[in-house]
Structure 1
Amino acid sequence: MKKQTGMLIATLLALPVLAHASCESVKADISQKIIQNGVPESGFTLDIVPNDQADQAGGQVVGHCENDSQKIVYKRTGRGDEGSVPDSAGSSQDAPAQ
């Protein structure tokens, strides 16, 4: 019985760590959403930058990861027309409060 209780406690303590997606998987998810909204894969970049450097990255923050210590920054490339990222590209945590 003590062994099962110990396993349950260890599992519960590990859940918050497992709940945070890796930056690469969040970046891949956002990339797919942008592509599904009609932006060609060659038409944008997504960069993972430390939280304190997001303002200097020169793009729009569309996601975050690693317990909000990293930001994912969208930059449009190509013909020079500065389009904005589709609203559905970021995670629900990045949506503006309504």
Structure 2
Amino acid sequence: MKKTMLAGAIALLLTPLIAQASQASCEQIRDDIARKIINNGVPESGFELDIVPNDQVSQHGGQVVGHCGQDTQKIVYIRLADN
């Protein structure tokens, strides 16, 4: 009985930590997307990835390529003009 209660208590204590660790930060997700774009041959100076709140996506322009922050923010890809 004590082992069951102890296991349950440990599980309850670890649940928030596991959930927090599984959610990558917006910056990490943006960096992963940037790495994939660069690996597809686009120069780093040829695009911009911005993290914007959901309600500002339409004003920001560009194409949504990801989301983060428990879907409260979007990652927007903007192609820059060639120099």
Give the structure-1-normalised TM-score: 0.73
Structure 2 letter corresponding to 1:46: L
Tell me the distance in 1 between the aligned counterparts of 2:26 and 2:53. Answer: 11
Partner residue, 2:74: 71
**Sequence identity of aligned pairs in percent?**
51
Name structure 1 gaps, 5 residues minimum. 81-98
Partner residue, 2:43: 40
RMSD of aligned residue pairs (Cα, Å): 1.6
Structure with more of its chain in helix, by fraction: 2
**1:1-98 → structure 2 map (5 Å cutoff):** 1=3, 2-79=5-82
Tell me the distance in 2 between the aligned counterparts of 1:10 and 1:78. Answer: 50
Q: Paired residues, what number? A: 80
Give the structure-2-normalised TM-score: 0.85
Q: Quick check: which has more Rg, 1 or 2?
A: 2
Deviation, 1:64, is 0.4
After the TM superposition, which segments of 4 or more aligned residues of structure 1 sit over 2 Å from their partners? 1-5, 12-18
Tell me the distance in 1 between the aligned counterparts of 2:22 and 2:73. Answer: 16
